[in-house]
Structures are given as C-alpha cells and as structure tokens.
Amino acid sequence: MTRKLTAYALMAIMFVASFTACNSSDPIEIDDNGYNIEVLYSNTAITSFSLKPNTKVLANLDSVYFTIDLVGARIFNAQPLPYGTKITKLLADIGTNGSSKIEVKVTDSKVMKDTTLVYNTSSIDSIDFSANVSIIVTSLNELQKRTYDVKVNVYDVKPDSLYWGKTEWAKLTDNGTPTAQKAVEYLDKVYSFVKTTDYSLTVIDGDMEMTESVTFPAEPNLRSLTASSNALYVLSTTGNMYKSTDGKSWSATGMKWNHIYGGYGDKIIGNKYENGKYIHTMYPASADFTESEVATDCPVSGTSDMLLFDNKWSTNPQTLMVGGRKADGSLTGEAWGFDGSKWSRISEKSIPTPCEGMSLFPYFTFKTSTSNWHVTEYTTLFALGGRKADGVNSPTVYISLDQGIT
C-alpha cells in the first residue's frame, strides 16, 4: 500500500494527533517518517484511486482524475468519461496509508453476481462500475472500518451535441397572419411585438403572458426595436426615434437615425446620416463619447443582434455584432465591437459568406483532452441565418471560440 499522504489525510492525522496529545499523558510513539503510529494504525483513509490502463476500453484510462471525498466517503470522477465508454470490466488501483484489508463490494450488477473481493496491488479481479460499488477499508489495528461509495461517471449523451427534447410553442397571434415581429429582453421579461392588421405586444414573464394592442405614433420599423437597461427604442420607417418605458406608450425623442446597433447600459448606439456621411452616435448623449464618422468597412445597417458582455481584454463592457451592409451597399462578414467610446473591427478571420440580419448569441461547446479525458467548457458565439447577397437565407451556422476574432 502506498504511504503517500494527501492533504486531507494529513489534516486528519494532525487533528487526531493533537486531540490525543491534549487528552493523554501517555507518550506518543512516532515512526521513522515522523507519523503518529497510533493514528496510522487506526487510519482508514483512501489516499489514491485510479483505473488501470486498458486501451481496449479507452486510451489513457489510468489518467482519469478521481476525487476522494474523505468527509463524505465518496470517490468519483467529476468529469464524466466519453459517451459509450464500457465500465463493466475494469481494474482499479487503490492506495491507503496502511491497512489490514481492503475489500471491494459489488451489488446489483447485470454482468456479475453480487460479490465482495479482497483487494491487493496485484488484484486481477475486474469490477463492474456500472453497478453499486463500495470499498471497505480496515485499519492496521483492525479496530476501525470505513466504507466509501465509488462512482465512475460516463456521459449519457455526446457533450458536444445539442439534445432536443419536447418542442414548446405558442401562436404569435390569434388575429391574422403576422407580417413583422421582433422580441427583445427588457427588465428581465420578453417583449414581443407583432404586426398583423394592427400591432400587438405580448409580455412574457416566466410562465405568464399578457397580450394587448399597441399604437405607435408613426409606422415603426420593428427590425430596429432595441432595449437599453431602462427603456425601449424603435425607429419609424422614416428614421424618427421613439422611446417607451412600458412598450405601450411611445414618445418622440427628437432624434433621426439611420440604424440602431443595440443597447449599451442605459443608452443605445447607432448611426445617423448627415451631410453625406454616416456618423456613429449615442442616445442619450454621454460626455465620454464623441461622435465620429463610420469607417468605410464598418456596416451601417443590417447588423446582427448586438451582444454586451465583459471580457478579459477590456476594462469596459464590450459589444459585439457581425455582418450587415456597408455604406457602399456591399455586405460584410466582419465582427465589430464598441467599448463605450471607440469602435473597432474585432475579426481577423471573418464569416466567409457575408449576410445581413444574422442572429448572434452566446452558448457553449466542449473540447476533450485525450491525454486525461478532461472536458473543458468554452463560451462560444453562434452566428446563423441572415440573407446572402442573392437574397437567399443562409443555412450555415458559424461559431467563434475567441469572442469574434475568428
């Protein structure tokens, strides 16, 4: 048995040793390594656990990391093994600080009878880890026993796949066929505007929905609908900007813009067309922001939904959008960002087929290391849909693992 101590085992030994020292006048017997012999002889801690290599089951099986919970008496791999890994006939390496006996108990197996195996370092008895498995450690002085529950976790589905369950759906409206629709998140609720013959607003708050009619001061361009942290904004078909705090009552702001990119805290950002130039602008105005001309390769319309997030490369919240139409009328597949004061092109490798009106949202993907089968979760941006230059909707899904750089 291994004599190597884990941090948990060392803490347990120190605790028992100090307790004994404070409550007994008997001399403490110490071994050659400086350990309290009485504590070692009564110790039932498992100090190491791993699976023995078996390339027929999985490459680098012996490198899978297992957590030993000495408090809860549990042993498990927090990171599951790849989907489909067979765990019905595996060998294990079990280490303690010294014990008189280690037993492995297997019950409720579908491939072997209920049994209790006596373990030693040369054990060749395979274990069905898909069953109920426990390890019983008996101390060297044979006065103490402890039972550990062991679980070898395996993914139920492939971790890099999307699993679709029951489809939840509801009609956008019971009043005719929708000709325009836009939904935004505002005040932790979903505000969905629909146009049929008239306009309606559905506010979704968890499982609760409320729908009512809405009248706008002018014909709105629902594609421009945007939410800041404290208001909703929309442009009319002629570019006049309107504001609402409840989605029902709208008032003019006095602004005339060409395009709204999205919300930035309690403000919105976009561009306006003045004196033959497109100008980056913000509403309400901010002392930290200075209007500037839109770069020739920056889109002025048709951009994706704009994301707002914190990242490790910026001290201020960063926005990100992809695609859209430039001032010369051509489409772009680049990603652009805004940090509260300046605009910059983010992408070094752009979307190869430029589109306008794409959907952009954050999700996650997984990458598995085949050296130790550790799976790392990556925040991932997904960009999909939109219309190509020929007007056809794009069927391609693009992802970025580096926040829009590629």
What per-residue confidence (pLDDT) applies to 42? 75
∠ CA 348-353-355, nearest 5°, is 100
Domain extents for the chain?
7-151
Q: Can you name the residues that pair with 76 across neighbouring β-strands?
A: 67, 151
Q: How many Cβ atoms sit within 10 Å of the Cβ of residue 278?
A: 21
The whole-number mean pLDDT for each consecutive block of 10 residues of the chain, a chain of 406 residues, reads 42 44 52 57 89 94 95 94 94 92 96 93 87 95 94 85 66 79 95 94 91 95 96 98 97 98 96 97 93 97 91 79 97 95 94 96 85 83 96 95 92
Name the pTM for this structure.
Answer: 0.68
Tally DSSP H helices, then E strands, for the chain: 2, 27
Topology classification of domain 7-151: Immunoglobulin-like (2.60.40)
Contact 81, 152 (CB under 8 A): yes
HEC profile of 167-206: CCCCCCCCCCCCCEEEEEEECCEEEEEEECCCEEEEEEEC
Q: How many Cβ atoms sit within 10 Å of the Cβ of residue 304?
A: 27
Pairing of strands 92-96, 232-236: unpaired
